[in-house]
Structure 1
């Protein structure tokens, strides 16, 4: 069974020491995964290497030709970070390449974000999907240590707690997806810090969830270029999606970003009783 675990650091894609502390490996990971300042979308091509998926008690069964459905919300201010448009294109191309039905929505008010998530969840039918993915890009408020996103902004400048979004797909509010893997990617540019506590890891109804977030800091906040994190995610997934599980790939994504420029992103992920999940296309 999956466990409830949380990982955070500036970039935490690294093994643990015997004492259990996260250690950043200074050895470059997969040298071919280079990152760059670019405003051009990546060419998405999935590796042809394959591994079997078995649906054992420690794995989610993901054998369907369509992996599931994905919702991408771009709420970035076009004037403050034009590179978000490239990020959305990269992520959508990646998800489509690994057989997700993908919908993109833009520029929603806070209440419209909730409505969009509810509509997405309602249309996710368990018999039709192996998993579902939600990607949200926009202005964020972080916890004081910057390791977790606390709230995300609507276009009306009203902030919506991240936990309110996640709970829309909980076993209680979305029973049709009970037991199915639910994956969230929150990618934000820093607005300000919040003192709101976001300890959703203690909510027992939040299961089978993997929640990853990255916050742009410093020079990347107002970049017209795509983010290093999204670039790294696309490149690692293209190379490893047939052989590695989601958590292993995210750890490698963080390592790639750390090796390239450790000052530009704060990253964090939570594993909420989430088993091994392979985004394997068939």
Structure 2
């Protein structure tokens, strides 16, 4: 699930829990994405993680770039508090900022900007991307990752999950009109040259089961709270939530689209 930056602070607890679970269940998936970025950006000194959430990307960047300093940026104090609590490293620091208000002046010029599931939250993504382009150190790069859809847990073609995803799509079309946008075109409009592009797919049939159950539970609880479900589907989700602790057939399907871009020559 994405980082819901524009929700009020008291809604962040459940989202933060879900992001922590996402980091556990999809650890190998996230590690593979960073490894792909590392092929193209081998040794950045300063990395800025935009929309860092509770730190799934930050900690993987620290692990795979042992010489780098990572600056985690988020608009939520609660997210950054959790990230700092987990960060046993002097190579990470946090900055509270809303990128819609402009590039924070206290940030160093980054060799790599990592933006995962954050750009679709921006009011004007192209303007934010231009700010990133202007802030990059000479030779710096942007790694942009965006979801195509929300995680699925109940297997291909499950009718309830299909209806849930349709309801999410209707809600997000209003709340997050940039979700699922043409990010290649947005990057070019912002003055970037795209160096690499790739789709990443995670299909986990035997992930850590207890974490997967909790991840699915957190996801469906947020759907019940935030999506415009019919009364019948609310009852169906309640029944599903009650049954989740006993289900051993959960899977996790997640997708990301990735771009690596540099300033246009």
Task: Name the structure with the higher helix share.
Answer: 2
Q: Which has the higher contact order (CA 8 A, sep 6+)?
A: 1
Q: Which has the larger radius of gyration?
A: 2
Fold match by TM threshold 0.5 = no
Superposition TM-score tier, normalisation by shorter sequence? 0.3 to 0.5
Structure with the largest fraction of strand = 1
